A and B are shown apart, each in its own frame.
Chain A
C-alpha cells in the first residue's frame, strides 16, 4: 500500500520569505513523488516530480523539492514566496510509476503581502 501525509492543513508565510510545505510518504518499493497545485475553481496542475537521481528537483514557478529517503520526506520549497503562490498544494506518490497516484489531503498555502 502507498500513502502520503501532509501534516499541515495551512501554512502562512509573508511575501518574500522562504516557504516550505511538508510531505512524508510510505510505500513498498521505489517511490515516485509528485507535487501538484490547485488554484480556486481549477483542476490540479503538475509542479514537479522525483523519479531518481539528484535529490533536489526543480519545477515550475521557482518551486523545488528535496527527496530524503531516510526521513521518507519530499518537502516542497521556494526561496521567496509570492502572493500569487497562494493555493492548495498536494503531494502524491506512485510505486515505481506503476500505480496510480495517491494524493495527500493537501496544504493550503497563504502568502501575505
Chain B
C-alpha cells in the first residue's frame, strides 16, 4: 500500500515559470489537502478538497490553483512561481466520511520546491 504519493520530490524553478505538483492516494479517501511548510515553521493549509468535485481555500491560497482530477488525485499548480513560494509542499488525505477516525490525516513525503 503506497498511501499518499507526491511527485516530483524536488524541483527548481525560475521566477515566472509554472509547474504542477501531483498527488495521488490509494486509500479510497474522500478528502485531500495541500500544505506548505517554510523553514522552521509549522504547516499552513493552501487548499483542500472535501470530496471529488469540490475544492476550497485554506489559509494561504494566493498564487496557487488546484484540481481534484478524480477521487485519487489532487494537483497543485503554480501559474507564475515567485521566490516566496520556495517551500516544502505536503499533500495529505483523510477518510472524511464520518466516525472518530474520519479526520485522521495521512501525509505524503513532501515536494521540495525552490524558486530562484
Q: A and B: real partners?
A: no
